[in-house]
């Protein structure tokens, strides 16, 4: 979806994140509402090449990547998703170009799968 969005979906000015391309974000919301994208028992993490979060959707309890202790279904959450684990996973994704990794915490194991956009400016885990 990001590659077909026709441009940037976000920008950072002096560290402040601005979401751009309203069409992309509207299409993402519609895909979630219609079940085209299903976040049941998983999370979706969108980051830019700064390895910081652009947006994430949480549907996993507990989520080791975001250290979340509650499930939010299809709602975009408002707390900071830039945990140490998330930043390290994004860094690995941008360095390798793709990601397949099992992470573990407190007896829970979760699989991370990630890819970059064609131009490498965004990553999705």
Q: What is the pLDDT of residues 15-62, one digit of tens each?
A: 789 999 999 999 999 999 998 988 888 889 999 999 999 998 888 777
The candidate with the shortest Cα–Cα distance to 25, out of 42, 1, 52, is 1
The candidate with the shortest Cα–Cα distance to 89, out of 69, 111, 65, 118, is 65
Q: What is the pLDDT of residues 76-91, one digit of tens each?
A: 544 568 999 999 999 9
CA atoms within 13 A on the CB side of 8: 12
CA atoms within 13 A on the CB side of 40: 4
Backbone angles phi, psi at 3, to 5 degrees: -60, -35
The answer to whether residues 112 and 103 touch, using CB atoms and an 8 Å cutoff, is yes
């Amino acid at each position: 979806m990001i590659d077909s969005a026709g441009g940037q979906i976000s920008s950072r000015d002096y560290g402040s994140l601005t979401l751009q391309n309203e069409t992309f974000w509207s299409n993402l919301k519609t895909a979630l509402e219609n079940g085209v994208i299903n976040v049941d028992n998983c999370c979706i993490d969108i980051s830019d090449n700064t390895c910081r979060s652009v947006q994430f959707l949480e549907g996993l309890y507990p989520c080791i990547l975001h250290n979340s202790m509650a499930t939010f279904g299809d709602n975009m959450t408002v707390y900071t998703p830039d945990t140490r684990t998330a930043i390290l996973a994004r860094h690995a994704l941008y360095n390798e170009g793709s990601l397949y990794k099992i992470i573990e915490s407190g007896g829970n194991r979760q699989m991370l799968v990630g890819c970059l956009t064609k131009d490498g400016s965004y990553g999705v885990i």
